[in-house]
């Protein structure tokens, strides 16, 4: 198993309706083939500090964003392969370091800081973990994903995510992927990932359907929602009297 991987690419996100997805796929489907994961349930544990410094920095930042997460494809068993990832975005370009390991190795690393192996990428991830004081799982984000690629443009990858959901408890990849819906039921999140310009057939299809890129962060949206819910709970507990609180 290749234990490490580096990505450098441009990522664009689009929020579609199911009708838009159907029309778009009619235009582009002949170019696409399923990637190695095809259709899968993606489960991501986002790591953060007790005061959520990583996601707060990401939300507030203009040019630089950073996230740490542990990902599995489906509910993981002890010996399942999972991926520890450091993802950075600077100047519109995404840089991702990914290290593959078993779930047991990943949980031991998060709990005790024992690296499962030594590599340049693992050292970079470990440096970021130490920088943030060894962050712990803070949010689970799961979705049902279709992943596609184009043989003529091997650096191009498209993913369509549905039923994006989140939870703040039961933060283990060995548990179910259940959570609270993050987007309306009929919404599809398209992510286009490429090392450079997208092929003309894809750009033309997006233009023909009037599909425009936008800004959307799964963890950022989930964090903001839970923060507002906590503030509302405090507000209601105080009898509707507004107080300044630090959450």
- Cα(135)–Cα(128) distance, integer angstroms: 9
- Cα(55)–Cα(63) distance, integer angstroms: 14
Pairing of strands 93-102, 81-90: antiparallel
Residue where the block lists tokens 């693992």: 122
Residue 108 pLDDT? 98
Spans of all domains in the chain: 4-237
Asked if residues 158 and 191 have their Cβ atoms less than 8 Å apart, the reply is yes
Asked if residues 28 and 208 have their Cβ atoms less than 8 Å apart, the reply is no
Residue 1 pLDDT? 47
Per-residue pLDDT reduced to its tens digit, 43-54? 999 999 999 999
Residue 196 pLDDT? 87
Total-model pTM: 0.91
Residue where the block lists tokens 């507030």: 60
Asked if residues 13 and 215 have their Cβ atoms less than 8 Å apart, the reply is yes
Alpha helices in the chain (DSSP H): 18-28, 53-60, 103-112, 120-131, 200-208, 218-237
Residues of the chain under the 70 pLDDT cut: 1-4, 234-236, 239-247
Using alpha carbons, select from 180, 179, 86, 153 the residue that is nearest to residue 125. 86
- Cα(82)–Cα(74) distance, integer angstroms: 10
4-237 — its CATH code?
3.20.100.30
Residue 154 pLDDT? 85
**Number of neighbours of residue 34 by Cβ within 10 angstroms:** 11
- Burial class from Cβ neighbours inside 10 Å (0-12, 13-18, 19+) for residue 217 reads middle
Residues in the chain: 247
- Cα(207)–Cα(38) distance, integer angstroms: 26
Distance between the two ends of the chain, CA-based, in angstroms? 42
3-class DSSP state of 35:
strand
Pairing of strands 136-150, 93-102: unpaired
Residue 247 pLDDT? 45
Calculate helix-pair angle for 53-60, 218-237, nearest 10 degrees.
110
């Amino acid at each position: 198993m290749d234990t490490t991987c580096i990505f450098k690419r441009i990522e664009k996100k689009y929020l579609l309706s199911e009708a838009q997805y159907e029309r778009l796929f009619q235009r582009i489907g002949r170019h696409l083939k399923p990637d190695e994961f095809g259709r899968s349930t993606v489960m991501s544990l986002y790591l953060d500090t007790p005061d959520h410094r990583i996601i707060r920095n990401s939300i507030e930042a203009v040019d630089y964003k950073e996230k740490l997460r542990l990902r599995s494809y489906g509910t993981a068993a002890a010996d399942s392969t999972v991926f520890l990832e450091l993802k950075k975005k600077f100047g519109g370009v995404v840089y991702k370091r990914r290290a593959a390991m078993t779930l047991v190795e990943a949980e031991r690393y998060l709990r005790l800081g024992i690296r499962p192996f030594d590599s340049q990428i693992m050292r970079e991830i470990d440096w970021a973990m130490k920088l943030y004081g060894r962050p712990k799982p803070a949010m689970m984000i799961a979705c049902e994903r279709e992943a596609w690629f184009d043989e003529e443009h091997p650096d191009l990858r498209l993913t369509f995510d549905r039923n994006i959901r989140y939870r703040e408890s039961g933060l283990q990849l060995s548990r179910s992927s259940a959570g609270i819906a993050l987007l309306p039921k009929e919404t599809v999140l398209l992510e286009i990932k490429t090392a450079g310009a997208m092929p003309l057939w894809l750009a033309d299809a997006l233009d023909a359907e009037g599909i425009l890129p936008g800004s959307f962060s799964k963890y950022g949206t989930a964090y903001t929602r839970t923060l507002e819910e906590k503030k509302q709970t405090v507000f209601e507990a105080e009898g509707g009297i507004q107080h300044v609180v630090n959450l």
